[in-house]
A and B are shown apart, each in its own frame.
Chain A
Amino acid sequence: MSGIVIATLVVGIIGLVIGIALVATGKKFYVETDPREEAVRECLPGNNCGACGFAGCDAVAAAIVKGEAFVNACPVGNMEMVEKISAIMGVKAGQAVKKIAVVRCAGSCEATHEKCNYVGINDCRAAVLSGISVWECDYGCLGFGSCVSACAMDAIHVENGVAKVDRTKCVGCGQCVKACPKGLIELVRADKKVAVRCSNRDKGAAVKKVCTAGCIGCKLCTKQCETGAITVDGNVAHIAYDKCIGCGKCAAKCPSKIIIEL
């Protein structure tokens, strides 16, 4: 019986001493932090995904309070979160719309063909460095999946030779954009449901030779667009999302079906 009492007492006393020591250390080594930092940190998702480019949610909260990052620095959070942070920081929320990634290539295995049998390192960046043009189209998706390994959300996959984004899973962190050596992936506004899925800058005839799903620069889409949001620049259509109203008329008219409604 006395053994139990002694054991309880000893562990209790050790706990008490440690507790007091911790409080004392906390007081002695207290570092003044901006109270807003804590408040901003509360609003953030808190899963430390690192998509913002900072070391974690604590780090981005500190950066926001110091003014080194914008209130919408967290690409994962929704509008509500940005509004809350804006309220703490005393700025207006502005335009923080959810963005998702779109792969600007539709060149599947049927549409275009492999020019050579690449057997090097199974990675897009390595394939680009090797200087070999793997597909007939030099601009398109290589399909080795550098973006797939960059994605922390399992939202992008190579299907039939071309990378495809799962819109339900994509959080718009932009990791795949950085990973793609061809610069094919673009972050677009999730609310405008059209996208151009080709990046080939060659003239129409040359495009047709290498890929059946390529933009031939026919400008039919620019004529359809009521707001003038589509321009054909360098033989490939481009949508200015700030003008786009998402009507989908361009997608309906596109002869090679590379402008699609998502």
Chain B
Amino acid sequence: MTSLIMIIVTTALVNNVVLSQFLGICSFLGVSRQMKASASLGGAVIFVITIASAVASLLYDFVLVPLDLTYLKTIVFILVIAALVQMVEMFLKKNSPAIYKALGIYLPLITTNCAVLGVALTNVQDGYNLVECVFSGFGTAVGYTVAIVLLAGIRGRIDEDAVPAPFRGAPIVLLCATLMAIAFMGFSGLS
């Protein structure tokens, strides 16, 4: 149990997927303009990464390892994640239109989020079993959500400030992300 909590803390804070592993930067910078949108994306990412890491882990342990095809994991994981997102979307559209509406365009966007693939690959590299994979996926996604919501909050403030002209727009956002990454380095003391 302690090791599972440790996995969540490690993946969410110490090895934060965005701020220390630099995965999923595209959506991190692209969708952090508004708090509401970034929170929706965060929710969708938690949902998808948790399921994707479970499925990827099962497939790796029961198909790729017995057949000695572990070098194919990248291709297989991409296939599975893309299909999974599609299925989850169809399932939600039918069974819970409310969640489907809340996640909106962000659910299909996650297919191309490299953080999802990154988690699946890191999990098998670290030799996690199924339960550990699910917790690691969940922790990573929570870390992503924390990072993107924090950045959205900061960007809301930036918009009201007199930023020097050369820094307006993308440069100041990148600077903020850098400072956030430095701040998150402080968590490395936890491990």
Residues of A within 8 A of B (CB): 6-7, 10-11, 14-15, 18, 21-22, 25-26, 28-31, 48, 55-56, 121-123, 126, 149
Q: With CB as the reference atom, state the residue of chain A lying closest to B101.
A: A55
Q: For A28, what are the chain B residues with a Cβ–Cβ distance below 8 Å? A: 94
The verdict on B87 contacting chain A, using a C-beta distance below 8 Å, is yes
CA distance A30 to B72 in the complex (A): 33
The reply to whether A29 and B76 contact each other, CB–CB distance below 8 Å, is no
Q: For B87, what are the chain A residues with a Cβ–Cβ distance below 8 Å? A: 21-22, 25
| Residue from B75, B83, B159 in contact with A11 in the complex, judged by beta carbons closer than 8 Å | B75
CA distance A122 to B160 in the complex (A): 7
With known contacts A21-B87, A25-B87, A55-B104, A11–B160 Cβ distance under 8 A: no
The reply to whether B93 and A48 contact each other, CB–CB distance below 8 Å, is no
Q: For B131, what are the chain A residues with a Cβ–Cβ distance below 8 Å? A: none
Q: With CB as the reference atom, state the residue of chain A lying closest to B105.
A: A56
25 residue pairs from A and B, CB less than 8 Å apart: A7-B69, A7-B72, A10-B63, A10-B64, A11-B72, A11-B76, A11-B79, A18-B79, A21-B87, A22-B86, A25-B86, A25-B91, A26-B90, A28-B94, A29-B90, A29-B93, A30-B94, A48-B105, A55-B105, A56-B105, A121-B160, A121-B161, A121-B162, A123-B160, A149-B159
Residues of B within 8 A of A (CB): 59, 63-64, 67, 69, 72, 75-76, 79-80, 83, 86-87, 90-91, 93-95, 104-105, 159-162
| Residue from A29, A123, A126 in contact with B94 in the complex, judged by beta carbons closer than 8 Å | A29
| Residue from A14, A22, A31 in contact with B93 in the complex, judged by beta carbons closer than 8 Å | A31
The reply to whether B69 and A10 contact each other, CB–CB distance below 8 Å, is yes
Inter-chain pairs besides A10-B64, A11-B79, A56-B104, 17 sampled, C-beta below 8 Å: A7-B69, A10-B69, A10-B72, A11-B75, A14-B59, A15-B79, A18-B79, A21-B83, A22-B83, A25-B90, A26-B90, A28-B94, A29-B91, A29-B95, A121-B160, A121-B162, A122-B161
CA distance A14 to B91 in the complex (A): 21
CA distance A149 to B94 in the complex (A): 39
The reply to whether A14 and B90 contact each other, CB–CB distance below 8 Å, is no
The reply to whether B69 and A6 contact each other, CB–CB distance below 8 Å, is yes
Q: With CB as the reference atom, state the residue of chain A lying closest to B159.
A: A149
With known contacts A6-B67, A22-B86, A31–B94 Cβ distance under 8 A: yes
CA distance A7 to B73 in the complex (A): 11
CA distance A167 to B166 in the complex (A): 27
CA distance A88 to B124 in the complex (A): 52
Q: With CB as the reference atom, state the residue of chain A lying closest to B97.
A: A31
Q: For B161, what are the chain A residues with a Cβ–Cβ distance below 8 Å? A: 121-122
Q: Which of A18, A21, A26, A56 has the most CB of B within 10 A?
A: A18
Q: With CB as the reference atom, state the residue of chain B lying closest to A26.
A: B90
Q: With CB as the reference atom, state the residue of chain A lying closest to B100.
A: A31
The reply to whether A10 and B67 contact each other, CB–CB distance below 8 Å, is yes
Q: With CB as the reference atom, state the residue of chain A lying closest to B168.
A: A149
The reply to whether B162 and A122 contact each other, CB–CB distance below 8 Å, is yes
B97 to chain A, nearest CB (A): 8
Q: For B95, what are the chain A residues with a Cβ–Cβ distance below 8 Å? A: 29
A48 to chain B, nearest CB (A): 7
Q: With CB as the reference atom, state the residue of chain B lying closest to A19.
A: B83
The reply to whether A14 and B76 contact each other, CB–CB distance below 8 Å, is yes
